[in-house]
Amino acid sequence: MSKPLPVELTTLCWLENPQGAVLLQKRVKKDWPGYTFPGGHVLAGENLVRGVKREVLEETGLKITPEFLGVAEWLAPKSRERELAALFKATVTTDFTVATEGELVWLPKESLATLPLAGTLNELLPIFYGESRYYHRG
């Protein structure tokens, strides 16, 4: 019998304002550079919803009520560990107050097709657009 793979849990959250713009981080970290949505690792003892709420609050200062959209999974290229990303969206009525992992900008949804997105984010967009609920690579 094969041994189960270790799993790393992460989150991403599409934040949209009443004008229909989405909040993007322009990340400069080498591990995932480019434009992305707020999110990050789920900590031990947290569930996915608490994890995404904490990450969004830490990275933007915004308190959210997230809606689950779907999940993405892949094998991390270096560690060969399974990574699961729970994908959420939330509507926000106030502006961000902090930017801890890169510049934050509100942009029209249509601009996502022309931006240098981080990592596999472009492949995950169908989940955020409501066209799919699952993404798998590897």
pLDDT digits (tens, 9 = 90+) for 6-32: 788 999 999 999 999 999 999 887 777
CA angle at 40 for the pair 34 and 43, rounded to the nearest 5°: 160
Percentages of the chain per state (helix, strand, coil), in multiples of 5? 20, 40, 40
Q: Which amino acid is at 15?
A: L
pLDDT of residue 25: 94
- Per the structure, how many domains does the chain have? 1
- Token pair 């967009």 is found at 125
What integer best gives the mean pLDDT of the chain?
A: 92
Assessment of whether the complete model's pTM goes beyond 0.85: yes
Rounded Cα distance, 116 and 72, in Å:
20
**Which phi and psi (to 5°) does residue 24 adopt?**
-120, 145
pLDDT of residue 74: 86
Average confidence (pLDDT) over 89-104 = 92
CATH number assigned to the domain comprising residue 133:
3.90.79.10
Question: CA dihedral in degrees (84, 23, 112, 123; nearest 10)?
Answer: 0
Establish if 2 belongs to a structural domain.
no
Establish if 127 belongs to a structural domain.
yes
Average confidence (pLDDT) over 41-48 = 96
Rounded Cα distance, 42 and 85, in Å:
9
Establish if 44 belongs to a structural domain.
yes
Establish if 45 belongs to a structural domain.
yes
pLDDT of residue 119: 86
Average confidence (pLDDT) over 101-112 = 93
Residue 60 sits in which domain range? 7-137
